[in-house]
């Protein structure tokens, strides 16, 4: 690209130039800790597997508050992990003629002539390019930017990362016909790691999903049952864990470890009252 063309691209406003993951603002309570536990101490008897005498002890868990928003600089990894787990489940559910395949990683770069398109328009052209190179289907993750190695800054350069299935052929023929460059990165050793990393700097918009599915893995063709999240239960008495408030002397001394488990004097805790609205019975 010549200097004049580069300046022109830099000054343009593109409809597909989205914010990066983690580039927004956190809420006031993001990253703070809360407590859940069980005060049903009459049912807490005997020794646990760690050799702790449970008689008369409250079961306590500490957890980090998360808004699960992709733009949050504090909580975006929680969003990323949730999306990664769902995507990995969907990828593993796909079989071809009773045989499981190994996922591959592709990168499809949008030509400069199409930089002014919307993301749905880009996706449609990318999907046609993927069909031409014999990609059966998978997930698309949209990246609106690339990082300059020289200074770490980001510039608009729309491309899609695909994790899916197929036997890639006719890459050059597709490029000559469409201008879309398809790069085959190859078989992934750690699918979850690839998805997490690609989601960590993808483009985020309130109007568009960060992940879309196409071909044989589209929602219309592949139906997947996802595990439903169960209510957290006390491992001792199997009662549902509830939000707790510290009422002991001074400040709560339990360390702030996400997922940390503790056994404490029940007199230090009370169940958090349920919020009641005016007029509610």
154 with 259, same domain: the answer is: no
210 with 239, same domain: the answer is: no
In this predicted model, what pLDDT tens digit does every residue of 53-90 receive, in sequence order? 788 899 999 999 999 999 999 999 999 999 999 999 99
In this predicted model, what pLDDT tens digit does every residue of 126-144 receive, in sequence order? 999 999 999 999 999 999 9
260 with 127, same domain: the answer is: no
54 with 87, same domain: the answer is: no
**Which two tokens mark 53?**
């005498």
The answer to whether residue 164 sits within a structural domain is: yes
40 with 177, same domain: the answer is: no
The answer to whether residue 227 sits within a structural domain is: no
The answer to whether residue 6 sits within a structural domain is: no
162 with 194, same domain: the answer is: yes
pLDDT value for 6: 55
pTM for this model (two decimals):
0.86
In this predicted model, what pLDDT tens digit does every residue of 169-226 receive, in sequence order? 999 999 999 999 999 999 888 999 999 999 999 999 999 999 999 999 999 999 998 8
- In total, how many domains does the chain have? 2
CB 180 within 8 A of CB 107: no
87 with 202, same domain: the answer is: yes
User: Distance between CA atoms of 229 and 157, rounded to whole angstroms?
Assistant: 38
Binning pLDDT at 50, 70 and 90, where does residue 11 land? low
53 with 173, same domain: the answer is: no
Owning domain of residue 115: 16-24+76-215
Q: Which of 70, 63, 75 is nearest to 27 (CA)?
A: 75
111 with 45, same domain: the answer is: no
Beta strands in 101-134 (DSSP E): 104-109
51 with 189, same domain: the answer is: no
């Amino acid at each position: 690209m010549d200097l004049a063309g580069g300046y022109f691209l830099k000054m343009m406003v593109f409809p597909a130039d989205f914010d990066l993951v983690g580039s927004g603002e956190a809420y006031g309570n993001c990253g703070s800790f809360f407590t859940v536990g069980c005060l049903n101490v009459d049912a807490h008897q005997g020794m646990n597997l760690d050799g702790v005498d449970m008689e008369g002890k409250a079961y306590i868990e500490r957890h980090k508050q998360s808004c699960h928003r992709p733009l949050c600089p504090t909580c975006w990894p929680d969003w990323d992990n949730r999306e990664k787990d769902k995507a990995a489940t969907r990828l593993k559910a796909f079989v071809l003629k009773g045989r499981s395949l190994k996922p591959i990683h592709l990168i499809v770069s949008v030509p400069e002539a199409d930089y002014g398109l919307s993301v749905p328009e880009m996706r449609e052209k990318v999907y046609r390019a993927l069909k031409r190179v014999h990609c059966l289907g998978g997930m698309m993750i949209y990246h609106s930017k690339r990082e300059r190695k020289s200074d770490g800054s980001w510039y608009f350069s729309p491309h899609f990362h695909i994790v899916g299935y197929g036997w890639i052929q006719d890459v050059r023929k597709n490029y000559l016909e469409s201008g879309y460059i398809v790069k085959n990165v190859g078989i992934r050793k750690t699918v979850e790691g690839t998805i997490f990393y690609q989601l960590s700097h993808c483009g985020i918009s309130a109007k568009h999903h960060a992940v879309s599915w196409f071909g044989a893995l589209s929602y219309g063709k592949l139906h997947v049952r996802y595990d439903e999240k169960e209510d957290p239960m006390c491992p001792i008495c199997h009662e549902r864990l509830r939000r707790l408030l510290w009422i002991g002397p001074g400040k709560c001394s339990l360390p702030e470890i996400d997922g940390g488990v503790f056994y404490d004097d029940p007199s230090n805790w009370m169940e958090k009252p349920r919020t009641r609205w005016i007029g509610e019975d």
